[in-house]
A and B are shown apart, each in its own frame.
Chain A
């Protein structure tokens, strides 16, 4: 029983080992890149567009709408990052229907890497939109005493992001593996379908949570520093 695609090693050269996680990550990236390249190569703005361009437009506008609704901001800045996260995780989980494929998201190393991307992106977006002083000041809210707890919160939500995705995908793989040895034929197929549903929901949730974290870093203190609002607040009192 393999509970992680990390333990499936295809090729070993010295200390470098090429395991299933790496191979299938590259497969997913190749599929995403090739499809996007092939579709956008012959892109047109006629009403008469190809099916693939239609699919891509639906995806991009759908992700833009979701980002705009979650963050209440213009989605343009966040679309590349959040959209890539969603498409990568969704494609990695969707390919589970292919026999012999091991989802790279079922490995803690992949999900940790994705969560670290979010961990870095949050302050980057926050500082880019609010400035370093204003962004770092939020770690001192409500008092300087809360600084260690704010930092712990930042780290623990990154860990939770990684373990959630890993646990969901790994549990699907392990349960299907156990069921295949106990009751083959029909029941594992049902669990596989359930795994597909969970995979898509997890991709959505990972992207939404990343967006929520980024939005909280970029927008919360906009209101507090808004001079008009501060005036109305002080005049109310």
Chain B
């Protein structure tokens, strides 16, 4: 296999692993956050506006972890710097 195929193969495998592992943590965290917020609303329905707002902000914070993984995946597949370098070095 030439270097471009190896770089392509490793990029795709790493991209899949990144998004797979990187979505586990945020998924668990979001589930826990929503469960806690629901039980908090069940105990104190009057405070549901504040709890919901805080929940959304917290979810956005957690979600950004998954988004970082997604951005890294997109860079690996569509904008891989090693890929460009290898193609340029091969004179392609």
Contacts and interface: CB of A to CB of B under 8 A. Distances in A.
Interface of A: 1, 3, 69-70, 160, 163-164, 166-168, 170-171, 174, 201-202, 204-205, 208-209, 212
A117 B42 CA distance: 39
A163 B60 contact: no
A205 B67 contact: no
Q: Mostly helix, strand, loop or mixed at chain A's interface?
A: helix
A3 B74 contact: yes
Nearest to B58: A205
Nearest to B67: A167
Nearest to A198: B63
Contacts of A209: 57, 60
B79 A3 contact: yes
B53 A167 contact: no
B71 interface: yes
A69 B54 CA distance: 11
Given A1-B78, A170-B74, A174-B74, A205 B57 contact: yes
B75 to A, nearest CB: 9
B56 A163 contact: no
Contacts of B50: 69
Contacts of B71: 163, 166-167, 170
